Amino acid sequence: MTILLLDTHVLQWWSAEPHRLSSNAVAVLEDASELAVAAITWYELAWQAHQGSITVEQPISSWLNTLSSMVRTVALTPAIAAIAAFLPRSFPGDPADRLIYATAIELGWQLVTKDDRMCKHRHSRSIVVW
């Protein structure tokens, strides 16, 4: 059973702009048994829509509810928070990125992201897919 954790931009692209996904990302998304997101992803999407960074054709809450029915939401746990806090200083400082990456580590899932900073971060196992 393959569960993938999606970075915020990947969820948005998967739902509205699939042409922006790499061919490898499309393949792993199609083969996954389940897709999941970290809880902070919902805040990031709501904020981006509110700020106009992404265009949403319906009320933001309706759009988020529709998306949430397609993926599992992973709650923030003390273990995930601790992993995020103790990632090395070389890791991106953005709290959302740290929490999303830490979620993948804690659960042993692969993270689908195009974020170069996360793709280049070395971990004891390969967790990033793009």
Cβ pair 119, 128 in contact under 8 A: yes
- State the greatest distance between any 2 C-alpha atoms of the chain, in Å, as a whole number: 42
The CATH T-level fold of domain 3-129 is Rossmann fold (3.40.50)
pLDDT number for residue 121:
59
CA-derived radius of gyration, the chain: 14
Q: Return the DSSP state at 57.
A: S
Q: Residue ranges of the domains in the chain? A: 3-129
What is the predicted pLDDT for the residue at 120?
Answer: 64
What pLDDT is stored for residue 116 in this prediction?
Answer: 64
Spatial distance between the Cα atoms of 59 and 61, rounded to a whole number of angstroms:
6
pTM of the model: 0.90
Classify strands 110-112 and 128-129 as parallel, antiparallel or unpaired.
parallel
10-residue averages of pLDDT along the chain (130 residues): 93 94 94 97 97 92 96 98 90 87 93 75 61
